[in-house]
Amino acid sequence: MKNVLIIEDDKLISSLVRFRLNKDGYNVTTVDDGLKGMDAIDNTSPDLIITDVMIPFKNGIEIINYSKKVNPNVPIIVLSSLGEEESTVMEAFSLGASDFVPKPFNPNELAIRVQRLINN
Amino acid sequence: MTFFALLLFFSLQAQQPEPEEDFVPVPVEEVLSKGLEIPGVRFVYSVSLPSNIDASGYALNPPSSANLWATDTLQFFIDAKALQDSIYKHHNVLGEIQSFLFDETISEEGLQAYFDNLLRNELYIIEEAQVSEDVNVGELIILGNKIPFKPFYRLKIQILTDIRMIILISFLTFFVLAAIVLVIVIFIIKTNKRNKDILVMRFKDLCYEPLSNLLFEKSLEDIQNMSKGDIAGILPKNLMHKPLFKDVLIQEIISLNKNMKGDFKLKLKLVYRKLDLDKHTIKKLSSKRWDIITTGIVEINEMDVVEAEAKVAQFINHENFYIRSNAVATLLNISSDSDLKVLADQKYPLSKWQQMIYYRIIRYTKNNRNVSFLLESENESVRVFGVKLIRYLGLVDQLEFLNNYYPQAGDPEKIEILRCFNMFGFVESLDVIYADLKSENKDLVKEAVSLIQNIGDKISLVALFELSQVTEDFDIKKAAMKAIYTLNKIVFEEYFGESADDWERKICLHLNDPVLTNV
Amino acid sequence: MYSLLFEILIEILGILFLLYSFFIIVSYLIMTVLSALEMRDHLRKNKFADYLDVVTSPVSPSISIIAPAYNEGLNIVQNAKSLMTLHYSKFEVIIVNDGSKDDSVEKMIESFDLVKTDFAFNPSIDCKPIRAIYKSTNRSFSKLTFVDKENGGKADALNAGINVSTMDVIACIDVDCILSSGSLTRMVRPFMEETNRKVIAVGGVIGVANNCEVKDGTVTDYRVPDSLLGKFQVIEYFRSFLMGRMAWTRINGLMLISGAFGFFNREIVLKVGGYFPQTVGEDMELIVRMRRYMEEEKVPYKVGFVPDPLCWTEVPESEEILSRQRNRWMRGTIETLQLHKKIGMNPKYGILGMISFPFWSIYEKNAPIMETIGVIYTLAMIITGDFSAIYLVALFVLIYFFSVLISSFSILYEQMAYNNYKNKKDLRSLLKIVLLEPFIIHPRVVWWGLKGHWDFLKGKGGWGIMIRSGFKKAVDKQEVGVTQN
């Protein structure tokens, strides 16, 4: 079973995404801030990471940086809120984010992206 | 405790009863006829004598009218009495002795009362020998013992002590009461808040599973075909009637609605309506608390409760900033009014915060962006916002209108219009703009210079040069010189290359600095 | 006769102390209620604010951050970097090197590819000569301006920064402060929100960063400091920010916003001539002068306050540094009140003249003196065996309980509003300090305050004569500046 890590401070969204991904048979861990996220990257060795850009204590960019250092092969999907500056998106990609999903998003679509990235 | 015991002690002291028998009354005649003086009391003897009698030998003053002879004021009663006796003896007329207290006539009773007062306050002390010659010494001692010892200043201190007591007691009481009230209030608030937080957390946990089920397991048609009871059956039992649970559920639905796309949005709205949560939302509008009303308005906005439009409309000129701003934002969002009339009718000035919110809504949701009503609004800040919208949204068809309107516009509008012209590089005639270079308003001048810098011509150089020489403001001078520099470097060198003026030299250096041109 | 006069004098003094304490207690009770109301409203308002929008909106005001630095070579580069990463779109960072004797300039030049420029600006506020203005050749540091000037003190450095600044709002910040990345959006909100009044300044809360865990400009774990003085300052900061300033904001009577984290309307700052470098209380003095100017011009205005925790700083834990700080604060207060004595009890100046100013004169300024006299008085009564001493002892007991009450409330406030200090052990140790503070720390604070009074009388700072004569108008400072230079 593949591990997916979700770093998102809105609990409802993370539980919803977890619900959706559980259905596809993934083992999902959710954490609500950047520091816990880094711990989880070390401890659960996820096969894919979904992270929000604006999270407490760290931002998504730093999570990408950290994850790429620990294991450069883990794909990362970045969620972002409306009104996010373009530069963040550019930065996320330049650091090696695999995909970028702007909020509002469609969970089914997200599930498809997860599947595609994990199977690659 | 000791403190209160002390207090009791003090109050007992203070309330010690005043002894009533503190002096022995003495008839005033008795004292006067002994030839003693009472301080402040004087006497005048007057008598009417037949006109043939000359009484000047009696130390009486000749009459001014009605044959009334009178003495000067006399210090001793017995002097007046002696004169009266003498007149009576010789002329058989009695006359009258009038008493005066500080030059005012006083009746006998009044005199007695005054005298009693003197005695009571020990301002007049009858010497032993004068009280009565036949009272014996033993009785006097007993009499003396009846008068308690009381020094003069002791009395005042007692009063002061009392005032202090009163202050201390009253403010202790006040403090204790206030502290108790505060503690109780804080305690209640804190407990309520904690209980509420725990409940909200629990409710949130309870919401997510059924919502996920509805969103992922059911199609839109499935939900459409479900009754209120069916959906409520998925949700935790016995909670649907709780207002707090409804609030939490609405919040979660709104939060999901913001973050989800596609038919998830439709599903969420359907669930919201099927559960009659829209009725719960509309009920909030009649609350007395501004934040609840505002929450209701925000919910109407997020969930597109169009039927509440009329109710929200009554809040658009509400005195509370948050109610007002959110009501307007909601109407901009849900109403079919594409002319932004709700904005044009605003009575309060638009703050930047409101402009930010309205701009976002207009930009992302309105297809038809007709700002002409805004430009004709009676509210200046609305007109200014209208001009800003033209610039932000690129409504070039309005530029012609602005061009005609410009001469009669107020300064804040002119500044925005100039920015607008600058953005689109549009202006029909620079002449009106040159006129504004002479304005007192620094921002307007700077904006005009900035426009000329972009679209100016040869004539502009002269106007700008003139401005740079006339102005005493550094920023304007800098702007004018920068404009000349941008328009024509050769002319700039001609004008300022050799300038001896300190400011001009500095600005020249600034404009020629390659690092600064990037900024 | 003498004993009579003496007795009466003693009685009058006793009543005065009673009244003084009474009014202190009443004022603090009122402040508690006012601040509670303001805090409630603020928390409710926060529910309806979308701060993300502020970052990108074209309507948001532009901000010049001005951070003076003196011998900060150790951290200056890191601090400048973190200032530039704040979440906001239209802003510039102006670091003013106030004639540091260390390698600040070299470090800055090296780290940010700075070069000297011929930046032309209007020296509308007098300040010490500027040696050079640097900009970066690297476009990713285009927000940064580095000003190198001769040493002239913090106010003078800020004035230089104000001269160079170009934006709508200026943010005066201590360079060693830790700012949360969302601080700018939250602090400009009062500027953007007001409809009918001009917002001239907005103050923020300063948190005690000692012992807290800080990661990338945000405090991640709140811990109270280990030392007594550190813990005391945590409580004191709660009291002054969460209770005092909230209450003053409620009635628009705020007279002081912290010099370490204050936002100002640039236009008004320029109109009144910037900071007044000849006082040690430049932050308070500027606000009073700006308010005075608005009152004299009869323009409706407001001084805002944002109680969200956005800025943290290390507070001094050494007794020596703290005593100097308090001495300076006291002198600053006295000097400001002196400079603007004209507005005291003057109805023309509204709440500023009738409430804020008298309050500061009676309580903040004279509290140490009154307390000392009170203690001496009580001791004298006890020694002479006069039994009114019991009153006064009772009064002291009362005031003690009252101060404990107020301090506990301020901790409760923090718990209700933010709940940052979550550790139960920390809370217990704070409560212990609340109980001990009146005995072991307060006397020292009083002593430092008295020393401040003494130093003011001695004319420390050398500007005594001018400060004693005061300003005739709010903009007088400019004339003073001209004649001094």
Q: What's the complex ipTM?
A: 0.89
Tally of domains in chain B: 3
Contacts of B161 in chain C (CB under 8 A): 11
pLDDT confidence of residue B60: 76
B497 falls in which pLDDT band (50, 70, 90)? confident
Spell out a b/e string for C398-407, using b for 16 or more CB atoms within 10 Å of the CB, else e: bbeebbbbbb
Of B1-10, B14-23, B140-149, the least confident: B1-10
pLDDT confidence of residue B4: 40
Would B280 be classed as within a structural domain?
Answer: no
Distances (CA, A) of B129 to B133, B134, B140, B353, C449: 6, 9, 11, 96, 67
Would B167 be classed as within a structural domain?
Answer: no
Task: Give the start-to-end residue ranges of the domains of chain C.
Answer: 28-48+177-362
Out of A57, A81, A85, whose CB is closest to C218?
A: A57
Domains of chain A: 3-119 (3.40.50.2300)
Would B108 be classed as within a structural domain?
Answer: yes
Q: What is the mean pLDDT of residues B339-351?
A: 89
Question: Are residues B421 and B448 part of one domain?
Answer: no
Q: Which of C143, C218, C219 to mutate to test binding with chain A, by most A CBs within 10 Å of its CB?
A: C218
Long-range contacts, stretch A101-105, CB < 8 angstroms, 24+ apart:
A101/A77, A103/A79, A103/B258, A103/B259, A104/B258, A104/B259, A104/B260, A104/B261, A104/B265, A105/A79, A105/B259, A105/B260, A105/B261
Would B18 be classed as within a structural domain?
Answer: no
- C139 inside 8 A of chain A by CB: no
Report phi then psi at B134, rounded to 5: -100, 5
Instruction: Please state, as a whole number, how many other Cβ atoms lie within 10 Å of the Cβ of residue C273.
Output: 24
Answer with the one of B377, B398, B428 that is the final residue of a domain: B428
pLDDT confidence of residue A52: 85
pLDDT confidence of residue B265: 86
CB contact under 8 A, A35 and C52: no
Q: For chain B, what is the total number of helices (H) and then of strands (E)?
A: 28, 4
The whole-number mean pLDDT for each consecutive block of 10 residues of chain C, a chain of 485 residues, reads 75 81 87 91 88 85 96 90 86 95 94 93 91 90 93 94 95 91 92 92 93 76 90 93 93 92 95 91 94 94 93 91 92 92 92 94 91 87 74 79 88 83 86 92 94 86 59 72 45
pLDDT in tens, A24-69: 889 899 998 888 888 888 888 899 999 888 777 667 778 888 888 8
CB contact under 8 A, B261 and A13: no
Question: Are residues B73 and B138 part of one domain?
Answer: yes
Beta C213-215 vs C301-313: how paired, if at all? unpaired
Would B12 be classed as within a structural domain?
Answer: no
Interface of A with C in 13-42 (CB under 8 A): 35
pLDDT in tens, A68-119: 888 888 899 988 765 555 666 777 777 788 888 888 888 888 889 998 888 8
Distances (CA, A) of B416 to B215, B369, B382, B495: 47, 18, 12, 31
- C221 inside 8 A of chain A by CB: no
pLDDT confidence of residue A83: 53
pLDDT exceeds 90 at position B139: no
Lookup: tokens for A42: 């070390």
CB contact under 8 A, A35 and C216: no
Q: Which of A10, A57, A81, A89 to mutate to test binding with chain C, by most C CBs within 10 Å of its CB?
A: A57
CA gap B215, B40 in Å, rounded: 105
Contacts of B259 in chain A (CB under 8 A): 10, 13, 103-105
pLDDT in tens, B305-316: 888 899 999 999
The widest CA-to-CA distance across chain C, in whole angstroms, is 85
C344 vs B17: which has the higher pLDDT: C344
> Which residues are paired to C213 by β-bridges?
C221
Out of A56, A58, A83, whose CB is closest to C52?
A: A83
B318 vs B69: which has the higher pLDDT: B318
- C55 inside 8 A of chain A by CB: yes
Q: What domain range includes position B450?
A: 429-519
Out of B3, B156, B510, whose CB is closest to C119?
A: B510
CA gap B315, B302 in Å, rounded: 17
Answer with the one of B150, B172, B201 that is the final residue of a domain: B150
CB contact under 8 A, A85 and C56: yes
* Contacts of C among chains (3+ CB pairs under 8 A): A, B
pLDDT confidence of residue C142: 87
Q: Provide the whole-model pTM.
A: 0.79
Question: Are residues B420 and B444 part of one domain?
Answer: no
* Contacts of B among chains (3+ CB pairs under 8 A): A, C
CA gap A112, B166 in Å, rounded: 80
Of B84-88, B343-347, C240-244, C267-271, the least confident: B84-88
- B198 inside 8 A of chain C by CB: no
Burial tier of C281 (Cβ tally within 10 Å: 0-12, 13-18, 19+): buried
Answer with the one of B390, B406, B428 that is the final residue of a domain: B428
Q: What is the CATH number of the domain that holds B483?
A: 1.25.10
Nearest CA-CA distance, residue A80 and chain C, Å: 12
* Contacts of A among chains (3+ CB pairs under 8 A): B, C
pLDDT confidence of residue B23: 64
Interface of B with A in 226-255 (CB under 8 A): 252, 255
Contacts of C52 in chain A (CB under 8 A): 54, 81-83
C305 vs B222: which has the higher pLDDT: C305
Contact yes or no for A18/A28 (Cβ under 8 A):
yes
The fold of C28-48+177-362 is: Spore Coat Polysaccharide Biosynthesis Protein SpsA; Chain A (3.90.550)
pLDDT confidence of residue B2: 38
Contacts of B156 in chain C (CB under 8 A): 8
CA gap B213, B51 in Å, rounded: 131
> Which residues are paired to C205 by β-bridges?
C309
Would B7 be classed as within a structural domain?
Answer: no
Nearest CA-CA distance, residue C51 and chain B, Å: 10
pLDDT in tens, B44-60: 888 877 777 777 777 77
pLDDT exceeds 80 at position B123: no
CB contact under 8 A, A85 and C89: yes
pLDDT confidence of residue B340: 84
pLDDT confidence of residue C166: 92
pLDDT confidence of residue C34: 94
pLDDT confidence of residue B18: 43
Interface of A with B in 10-49 (CB under 8 A): 10-13, 15-16, 19-20, 23
B131 falls in which pLDDT band (50, 70, 90)? very low
pLDDT exceeds 50 at position B74: yes
Would B295 be classed as within a structural domain?
Answer: no
